[in-house]
Amino acid sequence: MQKLLNIVLFGPPGAGKGTQSERVISRYHLTHISTGDLFRKHLGEGTVLGLEAQRYMDHGKLVPDEIVIGMVEEKINSTADTNGFIFDGFPRTVLQAKVLDKLLKLAKGSISVMILLKVPEDELKSRLRLRAKISGRTDDQDEGKIQTRITEYKDKTLPVASYYNQQEKLVTIDGVGSMDEIFSKVCTVLDPLYESS
């Protein structure tokens, strides 16, 4: 059986995970799992899960692990025939990362690499202010919510980078520059893995 290529695209809010994910998906034909997008979809459909998540998202806080994990598990288990997954905005806590390892093991897979897009805080804030004008996302509209999301990232999410670093799976990329420049750096990391998978 062909080995799956499973990638975690990691970084703070506004780092460019969504933009780079789209490009990665079209080049490597991976299945996208963006927990932020999945929550917004649930919210749009008015599901119980969406309404529960909204209570946290509206304040820029992380949604509790058990809610996120259940949703991701369902998505992994309902995906047949894939070259692998690109996880975008997940895992965001060390517990989520540990559970993800177990879920992938059950599917006889593992994380191949985590790519961290590194962007200075001032640049993140100006990107999110710009995105607020077009995204319609309520969590982009408010300086306080943006600050809470960045603080949540530093407190709860950054330790996930150390978790993958211990497994020698962390690659850090400078996330400042044109989308094309950044994507070509992403490809430098992924091409050799794709060829060997």
Active site annotation includes 40: no
Active site annotation includes 149: yes
In the bound state with ligand ADP, the residue whose beta carbon lies nearer, of 117 and 190, is 117
56 binds ligand ADP (CB under 6 A): yes
165 binds ligand ADP (CB under 6 A): no
Please give the span between the terminal C-alpha atoms of the chain, in angstroms, as a whole number.
Answer: 10
Out of 23, 137, 156, 185, which one is annotated catalytic? 137
Q: Is 16 left (phi over 0), alpha (psi -120 to 50) or beta?
A: left
Residues 166-185 that bind ligand ADP (CB under 6 A): none
**E strand intervals along 52-132:** 85-88, 113-118
CA contacts within 13 A on the Cβ side of 112? 20
85 binds ligand ADP (CB under 6 A): no
Rounded to an integer, what distance in angstroms lies between the CA atom of residue 117 and that of residue 72? 22
Query: Where do contacts with ligand ADP occur on this chain (CB under 6 A)?
Result: 13-14, 35-36, 39, 56-57, 60-63, 68, 89-90, 92, 96, 139, 149
User: Which positions are annotated as active-site residues?
Assistant: 17, 92, 131, 137, 149
